[in-house]
Structure 1
Amino acid sequence: GLVFGNGEFGFVYDDLKVTSIIGTLALNVIVFVGGLNTPMKHIHFAWKEGGMLSTVGVILTTVIFGFILNALLDFNLVTCMLFAAVVSSTDAAAVFSILESKKLKLKHGTSTILEFESATNDPIALLMVIILTDFIINSANGAPTALAVIFSLGQQIGVGVIIGLLMGKLAVWALNHIKLPEFGLIPVFILASFAITVSSTGLLGGNELIAVYIAGVIIGNDLKKGAEVSKHFFNGISWLAQSLMFIILGLQMFPQQLWPVFAASLLPAILLILVARPLAVQLCYLPFRQANWRKRLFVSMIGLKGATPIVFALIPAAAGVEGSREMIHMVFFIVLISVIIQGAALEPLANKLKLNIKPKRPED
């Protein structure tokens, strides 16, 4: 995408709205597939700690990093909070792929908590990005009241949860009772259910990520026939969505505009990794005194970013928020630095903290 989309071969792509739509759709697919692959036992184990990290943790990271950015950059406080909200969530695709590629099995259910957090924290981050973007765009009409913000959050979460539960249950009931003439139609039926979930949630003003994740969890755990073939099919669809998302994001980026903000992105990225994320996680773990300190330290230092923040950064850019183009480029480098530093540190840190369950050798 970076090579072909910026005029090097006579083709220039620059359409923030189309990129935002495609990126958001791809993100919905990735979160849905994450739900399909999440065993219910993992949710029962991780919902308290993981739920705290994916909600309060995201909000705390946004607030802490927002004030840090306000001290470093020329943006006003609200724009800095928007910037912080964009990079506040961890990326499910990055966490899943790195844990799987390194064959890491962590003690105290640490990997399960990281996976649950990364799969469920995007909706809160997205809600904050949308609310802050609307606040900046409509600031001339006056700031929204606290009641209006609470109502918007309640509507987004409530509608998303209801439609996710309803569509998940309906899809499972239908597939368990309808005799389809071809086994391969089961994934197609689930894909249609996904499309209806996304469109109906959007029409009714709910959060699509919440809805598709809940629907995915229900379908993945309750489906009696065709579950395995469907998971393999949708894992392929997820890889396709990730590839499409990265290509379209690469097409949208212009390398000649990236390098001027590289130096300015280094300090914010390091402070996000070493200050904002660890402080937010440690605050979230205050109610969980039984949690091992090694586990808390590992979770606080591993907040992998991926393509999701870049997709989120397209929302204010497509809406015309001042400084949003520069924000996209800085987010690009923050994600890159996060993947390189935190991704590389994952296994050595787990070994140093004695959290890695090493496989037994055959002679053992």
Structure 2
Amino acid sequence: MNEYILIGASILLLMSVLVSKISDRLGIPALLLFLILGMLAGSDGPGGIYFDDPALAQFVGVVALVLILFSGGLDTEWNRVRPVIKEGLILSTLGVFITALVVGLFASVLLGFSLVEGLLLGSIVSSTDAAAVFSVLRSKGISLKGQLKPLLELESGSNDPMAIFLTVGLIQLITQPDLSPVNLIGLFVLQMLVGAVLGYGMGRVMLFLVNRLKLGYEGLYPVLTLSLVFLTFGLTDAIGGSGFLAVYLAGIVLGHHDCIHKRSLLRFHDGLAWLMQIAMFLTLGLLVFPSRLVPIIGIGLLIAGCLMFVARPVSIFVGLLSSALNWREKTFMSWVGLRGAVPIILATFPLLARIPQAELIFNVIFFIVLTSVLLQGTSIPLIARWLRVDAPAISKRLYPIEYTPMGGLKSELKELPVPSNSHMAGKAIVELGLPADFLVILIARDN
């Protein structure tokens, strides 16, 4: 019996890898195809796999999200993000709150929900997924001008904790009617502070251990960082902090500093993040019953329209009121607020809490995510060109050389492109007047 499970899982993984290739060619976010693949494999599809376990789906989603956030933090270039730190934090807090409020009020009126139930739906769908945006742009050979890319990266990496807090807090208000909303404000501040402090602290611990332990095998370093990631999340969550914020910040701290085998660690965690994305989307796709989405198509389209054309633009233009971004950049930011896996994961929380409207909320959220990814995701290159915020994508070649600083040495490895109009072009190395301790390791010419 176990071998059939392995065969089925391996086939789904293999198909997901092949589907990602199609995604790059067509410019469609891979997460959409992963979800569709999961739905086809589910009980309503030709695969016929019956899966109706929200608890397991939530567990897979949380584990995947922890690893994805850490990988995102590890890959974040702090020097590029630092100039937009204020705008990013505003969007990840005030922006999320405004989105949840606008969508929640609209859903309350449309669905006949109570105010708290409507706000719960709005909170679940309030976080964004920038990875899908960049994958589409990369497949079309497009980049973004100015500070748009680092701002989108920072917003999507840091707005999940706010959405999670609002979702959990509103569920508590529904299940515990005597609880005062004022109590949630202090809890939010505590969660963010504890998450930020422990995230930074554990990031420094990771850096110290990676550089000082001197393990005998290179393959043990990813095992070390993986164990520390889960320790960071578990420890922070256990003492009342935001574990998701902590792992994201720990990733930023480790990624910002030089450490042993850094490139191999980046490759490992990037591959692991892809595996977790596939597993998460397949699981969430299996969890939904497509036949139950048909009756709520009209409702789903109306709420998705409110999210894309009202809530997101309002949150952007209000949140970035004092920003130096021009109207074109703000309009583009308004359109690229794609919803990803986090809303679907959060939609399992009401199911486990046995809230009366939980199943309807889950199906509506799933439909909104599909609509957002399909409509917004496929139109991103066109909107970027129309608003003139696009720029040619510069593909950076990574050469097969990795330098590991040992024994406190301050040396570092740099890749320096030499343009045709550079004063170095056409000269021999000896004519460049380089410092005595400058070592040329590799020259790449014409591929």
Aligned pair partner of 1:80 in 118, 127, 150: 118
Q: Tell me how large the CA RMSD over aligned residues is.
A: 1.9
1:303 CA displacement? 0.6
Q: Which residue of 1 aligns with 2:154?
A: 116
Match runs of 1:165-180 below 5 Å: 165-180=200-215
Specify which of 333, 349, 353 is matched with residue 315 of structure 1: 349
- Counterpart of 1:266 in 2: which secondary structure? helix
**Is residue 270 of structure 2 the alignment partner of residue 235 of structure 1?**
yes
Q: Which one-letter code corresponds to 1:251 in the other structure?
A: L
Indicate the residue corresponding to 1:202 in structure 2.
Answer: 237
- Change beyond 3 A, Cα 1:294–1:4: closer
Q: Which residue of 2 aligns with 1:284?
A: 319
Q: For 1:336, which of 354, 358, 370 is the aligned residue?
A: 370
- Greater relative contact order (Cα < 8 A, sep 6+): 1
Q: 1:178 to 1:293 in 2, by over 3 A?
A: same
C-alpha distance in 1, partners of 2:130/2:87? 16
Cα distance in 2 between the residues matched to 1:246 and 1:300: 25
C-alpha contact 1:108 1:295 (8 A) present in aligned 2: no
**Which protein is richer in helix relative to its size?**
1
* Aligned-partner residue type, residue 79 of structure 1: E
Change (3 A) 1:297 1:9: closer
Which amino acid is 1:144 matched to?
A: S
SS of structure 1 residue aligned to 2:391: coil
1:24 to 44, 55, 62: 62
* Runs of 4+ off more than 4 Å: 7-11
Q: Does 1:224 align with 2:259?
A: yes
For residues 308 and 279 of structure 2, the distance between their equivalents in structure 1, rounded to whole angstroms, comes to: 28
Alignment CA distance shift 1:64-1:10 (3 Å): closer
CA distance in 2, matches of 1:234, 1:126: 23
Of residues 8-17 and 218-227 in structure 1, the stretch that sits farther from structure 2 once superposed is 8-17
Length-normalised TM-score, structure 1 = 0.94
Q: 1:9 offset after TM fit, Å?
A: 6.0
Preserved CA contact (<8 Å) 2:222 2:265? yes
The letter of the residue matching 1:22 is V
Is 1:293 aligned with 2:338? no
1:14 paired with 2:49, answer: no
Larger Rg: 2
1:144 is the counterpart of 2:183: no
2:88 to 47, 50, 55: 50
Count of aligned residue pairs for this structure pair: 359
* Pairing 1:3–2:40 present: yes
Whole-angstrom distance in 1 between the partners of 2:365 and 2:43? 19
Given that 2:133 and 2:336 are in contact with CA atoms closer than 8 Å, whether structure 1 keeps it comes out as: no
Shift of 1:126: 0.6
Aligned twin of 2:442: none
Judging changes above 3 Å, is the alpha-carbon distance between structure 1 residues 350 and 17 closer, same or farther for their aligned structure 2 residues? same
Whether 1:253 and 2:291 are equivalent positions in the alignment is no
Instruction: Give 1:304's match in structure 2, choosing from 338, 355, 359.
Output: 338
> Gaps spanning 5+ residues in structure 1: where?
none
